Amino acid sequence: MNKVMSTLLWPVIAIVGAFSFAALALGRGETVSAVWLVTAAVCVYFIAYRFYSKFIADKVLRLDDTRQTPAERHNDGMDYVPTNRWVLFGHHFAAIAGAGPLVGPVLAAQMGFLPGTLWILVGVVLAGAVQDFIVLFASVRRDGKSLGEMIKMELGPTAGSLALVGVLAIMIIILAVLSLVVVKALTGSPWGLFTIAATIPIALIMGVYMRIIRPGRVAEASVIGVALLMTALIYGRTVANDPTWGPMFTLDGPQLAWALILYGAVASSLPVWLMLAPRDYLSTFLKIGTIVALAIGIYYVAPPLAMPATTRFIDGTGPVFSGALFPFLFITIACGSVSGFHALISSGTTPKMIEKESHMRLIGFGGMLMESFVAIMALTAACVLDPGIYFAMNAPSAVIGTTAANAAQVISSWGFAITPEMINQTAVDIGENSILSRAGGAPTLAVGMAKILAQALGGKSMEAFWYHFAILFEALFILTAVDAGTRVGRFMIQDMLGHVYKPMGNTEFLPANLVGTGLCVAMWGYFLYQGVIDPLGGINTLWQLFGVGNQMLAGIALLLCTSVLVKMKRERYVWVTLVPTAWLLITTLTAGVEKIFHSDPRIGFVALARKFSEAAAEGKVLAPAKSIEEMQRVAFNNYLDAVVCGFFVLLVLAMCVFTIKICMQALKQAKPTAHEIPPLAGVDAAPA
Amino acid sequence: MKVIVQDVPTVAPTADAAVGASRPGLREYARSLRQGCRQMFGIPDYERYVAHMTAQHPGDPLLSRRDFFAQTIDRKYGKSGPRCC
């Protein structure tokens, strides 16, 4: 019976998928419903999961349920717990889904909906899901070891240390770029800032409740937290319109940057139970709830895609980010296709909770498909907006000016007809003063979501509420990430400093903690501030730096996976990891080198630095710098970005050399040489 | 590098997995649903811990609810790996 169902079901899914793609492909010149886009994606996921992940599970990795998993071996009822696979799927998904899949696709929408969609789908099936799955597998077979430890085990201690420095550098960039997204979303938005600020006392109340008033009652605390959060969201409008309170919550970019830097330093020094844990619960609830609501909303409203399939900006002249489709699309959309950061999660808590090896297929591969689905929805939300509105929100003020009239004129000249009235009306609809130049993905996505959710629930009058709800949802988990990331960064810095001067490595030693926290915050804060005053809007620089770093990390993780396969003597199937590795290395090395050396100052760091330093030498001041000192600072920042980018390029090349050396050695061996925990005979073969 | 394996559980480990194999009554179902939700959102589960300790390590000292939460939350957020972008 099951077999009949299966033979009937898969052709049906294939046909629905093909039909959806046909609707997308043939609908030239007329608008296509977003439902086709989402349906096509879902069909691809199902087919990839059913066939490709099964192939990897059975043939390439040969998952073995008689082997003990770390959760079985160390079952302690606390950290190591064999977990139901659907529950763990949800848990893993909540851990990997962050702001990444929401921001990248929105930025990439400037090239039209098709390039982004294709890269998200092809990338996730052949690269992203494969990486997450195999890293999870490798970690489970190594007793839940982390990515850094596994690189040390399989590729040697030098490679391990190098990778750790790389991870720290990428984390610093991520923290800076995520904070920049928040700054861009909250600049001059008292309603938004009030609700985000309110999450701090709300989290503190929850923390005290869970720890002191009613220890361990997370559900009760969460109900209180969510209720307070919604109250803050509703009354935010009143606060914003208040003559005394409104201006107090209206901050400009640099002020917000300083506020975030201060927040990062203080929040990461508080005990975890007081703010981080309660806020993390709040953001997880909101995250899952919003994603489900958006999926239902898209199917219920079935909005048409207003953005064309491709725009003229695939040639690299786009206002949102500069650089041609190859290679820059492939570093702009990272999470959603393939994200190196997931390798850290897949070798973090998840392997400690795997009940059986066969479950890794759903959790590793399936979890990443789910994340990719979020990216597709973010892309959809950006593409249902009028393209004129999209560009008004995402182009820097250096290009479109600071007034609606000017912006409308520039954007219309690109071929996306828009009037100043439409721009102003959108701002009024969402309850903001201005929508111009709010690059960073979050506000665009929020407007798209507000349009979809308001049509499904509440009508036009609710648009402002949904917009601020969406901003809250994104800012909440970005701030959680800033808090948690600063802590992790501090531990990594202390660990490194501990090798130089022993007491610095002691995490119980207060001065060492302060130095570690200070260094971490100073580093990401520097990049954040630089992004806020950047002439091209900051996102243009930082998101691409993050993209290069993140994809380099993915390349490193896939190199590790490749070496693991070769060491297991599965070289027959090594193409499974070698093909995505090669593609990632080609795109990111090209992008990295172009970001450094490209002669166009909108793309190359060195070219932009030279332009500003030469102008400064002649005594000229280029906008938006206001003095010669600022000119020199812009030049210095760009040289620094070039150095960071160069570091990523060299790092990944070094990892390539290590991997090739190790693989050559392993190929000469007759027996597997991977450092797995050997299967135990007898004790673990208990039937399910 | 060899990892020495210790503390091999003597009972089939699925015994205290989130969703039990047996399916009696609505109460049991509600319990496993609650456990599942807790695990999904990463909320420490004291009831499961108590069940685990009484089944596997009877006689060992049991943490109080307050201490259990203090320990698990501190450990989860204290030094855990980074979360995603």
* Closest B-chain CA to A686: B12
Q: How far is A143 from chain B (nearest CA, A)?
A: 8
Q: How far is B27 from chain A (nearest CA, A)?
A: 19
Say yes or no for a CB contact (<8 Å) between A218 and B68.
Answer: no
Cβ of A675: how many Cβ atoms within 10 Å? 18
Residues of A with CB below 8 A from B56's CB?
75, 77
Going by C-alpha positions, the residue among A472, A316, A308 that lies closest to residue A390 is A308
Q: How confident is the model at residue A77 (pLDDT cuts 50, 70, 90)?
A: confident
What's the confidence (pLDDT) of residue B12?
A: 40
What integer best gives the mean pLDDT of chain A? 91
- Rg of the Cα trace of chain B? 15
Q: Which residue has the tokens 């990272």?
A: A334
Is A49's Cβ below 8 Å from some Cβ in B? no
Q: How confident is the model at residue A686 (pLDDT cuts 50, 70, 90)?
A: very low
Cβ of A422: how many Cβ atoms within 10 Å? 15
Inter-residue contact A197 to A542 (CB < 8 Å): no
Specify whether the backbone of A619 is left (phi greater than 0), alpha (psi in -120 to 50) or beta.
Answer: left
Indicate the Cα dihedral angle A685, B12, A145, A673, nearest 10°.
-10
Say yes or no for a CB contact (<8 Å) between B82 and A171.
Answer: yes
Q: What is the pLDDT of residues A583-627, one digit of tens each?
A: 999 999 999 999 999 999 889 999 999 999 999 899 888 877 788
Reply yes or no on whether the pLDDT at B4 is more than 50: no
Dist. CA A228–CA A234, nearest whole Å? 10
Residue of A97, A488, A680 lying closest to B5 (CB–CB):
A680
Partner residues linked to A32 by β-bridges: A305
Say yes or no for a CB contact (<8 Å) between B69 and A211.
Answer: yes
Dist. CA A44–CA A19, nearest whole Å? 12
Q: Give Cα separations from A42 to A21, A113, A121, B31 (angstroms).
A: 11, 16, 10, 32
Reply yes or no on whether the pLDDT at A75 is more than 80: yes
Q: What is the pLDDT of residues A225-283, one digit of tens each?
A: 999 999 999 999 999 999 999 999 999 999 999 999 999 999 988 888 898 889 988 98
Q: How confident is the model at residue A629 (pLDDT cuts 50, 70, 90)?
A: confident
Residue of A82, A86, A484 lying closest to B77 (CB–CB):
A484
Inter-residue contact A332 to A547 (CB < 8 Å): yes
Dist. CA A387–CA A279, nearest whole Å? 35
Residue of B39, B79, B84 lying closest to A335 (CB–CB):
B84
- What does DSSP say about strands A304-305 and A32-33: parallel, antiparallel, or unpaired? antiparallel
CATH of domain A2-189+250-668: 1.20.1740.10
Say yes or no for a CB contact (<8 Å) between A675 and B70.
Answer: no
Is B30's Cβ below 8 Å from some Cβ in A? no
Q: What is the pLDDT of residues A472-506, one digit of tens each?
A: 999 988 998 898 889 888 888 988 898 888 888 88
What's the confidence (pLDDT) of residue B79?
A: 60
Q: What is the pLDDT of residues A546-573, one digit of tens each?
A: 999 999 999 999 999 999 999 999 999 9
pTM of the model: 0.90
Contacts of B26 (CB under 8 A, 6+ apart): none
Token pair for residue A614? 């030469």
Interface of B with A in 44-63 (CB under 8 A): 44, 46, 48-49, 51-53, 56
Token pair for residue A372? 């990719």
Residue of A216, A272, A550 lying closest to B78 (CB–CB):
A272
Residues of A with CB below 8 A from B73's CB?
272-273, 277
State which amino acid sits at residue A564. V
Partner residues linked to A354 by β-bridges: A83
State which amino acid sits at residue A318. G
If DSSP codes are grouped into helix, strand and coil, which group holds residue A305? strand
Going by C-alpha positions, the residue among A479, A385, A398, A483 that lies closest to residue A436 is A398
Euclidean distance between the first and final Cα of chain A, in Å?
Answer: 23
Residue of A341, A353, A488 lying closest to B85 (CB–CB):
A341
Dist. CA A70–CA A78, nearest whole Å? 13
Q: What is the pLDDT of residues B21-74, one digit of tens each?
A: 455 688 888 888 888 888 888 888 888 888 888 888 888 888 888 888 888 888
What's the confidence (pLDDT) of residue A1?
A: 57
Is B20's Cβ below 8 Å from some Cβ in A? no
Partner residues linked to A83 by β-bridges: A354
Partner residues linked to A305 by β-bridges: A32
State which amino acid sits at residue A257. A
Is B79's Cβ below 8 Å from some Cβ in A? yes
Q: Where along chain A do its domains lie? A: 2-189+250-668
Q: What is the pLDDT of residues A18-49, one digit of tens each?
A: 888 888 877 766 778 999 999 999 999 999 99
User: What phi, psi does A304 have (nearest 5°)?
Assistant: -75, 150
**ipTM entry:** 0.72
Q: How confident is the model at residue A685 (pLDDT cuts 50, 70, 90)?
A: very low
Dist. CA A253–CA A180, nearest whole Å? 9
Token pair for residue A511? 């001065």
Q: How far is B51 from chain A (nearest CA, A)?
A: 8
What's the confidence (pLDDT) of residue A464?
A: 93
Segment A450-477 mean pLDDT: 89
Reported as type and span, the H/E element at residue A33 is: strand A32-33
Per mean pLDDT, which range of A106-110, A322-326, B69-73 is the poorest? B69-73
Burial class (CB in 10 A: 0-12, 13-18, 19+), B6: exposed
Reply yes or no on whether the pLDDT at B10 is more than 80: no
Q: How confident is the model at residue A296 (pLDDT cuts 50, 70, 90)?
A: very high
A32: DSSP letter: E
Token pair for residue A600? 């166009």
Q: Give Cα separations from B4 to A143, A476, A491, B1, B7 (angstroms).
A: 10, 42, 27, 10, 10
Q: What is the pLDDT of residues A297-316, one digit of tens each?
A: 999 999 999 999 999 999 98
Dist. CA A643–CA A641, nearest whole Å? 5
Dist. CA A355–CA A86, nearest whole Å? 11
Q: Which residue has the tokens 């660990």?
A: A495
Say yes or no for a CB contact (<8 Å) between B77 and A73.
Answer: no
What's the confidence (pLDDT) of residue A569?
A: 94
Q: Which residues of B19-28 are buried (b: 16+ CB within 10 A; e: fewer)?
A: bbeeeeeeee
Distance of CA B70 to the CA centre of its chain: 15
A28: DSSP letter: T
Contacts of A525 (CB under 8 A, 6+ apart): A176, A257, A260, A261, A264
Q: How far is A84 from chain B (nearest CA, A)?
A: 5
Q: Where along chain B do its domains lie? A: 23-77
Inter-residue contact A437 to A537 (CB < 8 Å): yes
Interface of A with B in 268-327 (CB under 8 A): 271-273, 276-277, 280-281, 284-285
